[in-house]
Amino acid sequence: MKKNVFILLSIVLFAASFSKAQFILKGKIEFERTVNIYKQMELEDDGWATTLKKQTPEFKHTYFNLIFSEGKTLYEPGRESREKPTPFGEGPATSNIVYTDLDNQKTVAAKQVFDESFLIQDSLRKYNWHITKDTRKIAGFECKRAFTIIMDSVFVVAFYTDEIVSSGGPESFQGLPGMILGLVIPRLYTNWYATKVELEQVKAADILPPKRGKSSNYSDMEKTVQKSLKRWGKWGTKYIWQIMI
């Protein structure tokens, strides 16, 4: 009798654990985006660099929310940072809004590039992810490490959890067997890490695509930006990478 009770209790505990780990379908994630300003700008040891360092914090932190439900996600700016604004203004990707329809493989993204607003309507990007055996905990979730290459040479590391069913993530990144809770782009000296996951109810009306901006797609926007920044050299290339993520 005791043996049967023990077996039944084990089954119940396993079922509860499996349910918790496998069926998180809706919720809200806060991401902290951290940029190493000194590294990103490749500051040199000269008078101008020294002066700028005195006026600029080494790291810039901004916050974004990602809400997800029923095969759709919406990534948008979250709470305001308490840090002082940088003296040279906000960089690219600080106000991105990205709507992702995972079921239909479509995306709508609002991106501010200098004085021009783009409304990208395109298919989801295809990432050739390679999943490793490495793991780390992020916001209380056990995450697996994966990596890919974008724009021919830019290395991207992602940490995803299969405890959250959605295959979404911050910015335009998606396509792993679970939610991306951590993202690192070393060449941009930028990372995104989830600070908390709230398992709240999300209505369909909460996840709607942005509507404002010049209608375009990723390819056309890239051509426009490259034309504008072709004289910027190496810095222009990195700026384009930041815009296109």
Domain of residue 29, CATH code? 2.50.20
Whether residue 73 lies inside any domain: the answer is yes
CA distance 230 to 64: 30
Is 1 part of any domain?
A: no
Domain assignment present for residue 29? The answer is yes
The total of structural domains in the chain comes to 1
Instruction: Provide the CB-side half-sphere exposure for 63 (13 A, CA).
Output: 12
25 and 166 in contact (C-beta within 8 Å)? Answer: yes
Task: Give the SS3 label for residue 61.
Answer: strand
- pLDDT of res. 19: 43
4: which 2 tokens?
Answer: 């049967």
- Extract the tokens encoding 244: 């296109």
Does residue 120 fall inside a structural domain? yes
Domain presence at residue 12:
no
Q: What's the rounded Cα separation, in Å, for the pair 138 and 169?
A: 14
* Residue 94 confidence (pLDDT): 87
Q: What are the residues whose beta carbons fall under 8 Å from the beta carbon of 202, sequence distance 6 or more?
A: 26, 27, 28, 67, 68, 69
Let me know if residue 11 belongs to a domain. no
Whole-structure pTM value? 0.86
Of the candidates 219, 212, 211, 208, the residue with the CA atom closest to the CA atom of residue 117: 212
Is residue 4, in this structure, part of any structural domain at all? Answer: no
Q: What is the mean pLDDT of each run of 10 residues along the chain (245 residues)?
A: 45 42 85 89 59 78 95 94 70 89 96 90 97 97 97 95 96 97 96 95 90 92 84 76 87
Give the domain range for residue 220: 23-244
Instruction: Choose among 134, 188, 139, 122: nearest CA to 24.
Output: 139
pLDDT at 87: 60
Closest CA to 201 of 67, 64, 22: 67
Spatial contact of 161 and 68, defined as CB atoms under 8 Å apart? no
The reply to whether 161 falls in a domain is yes
Question: Which of helix, strand or coil describes residue 79?
Answer: coil
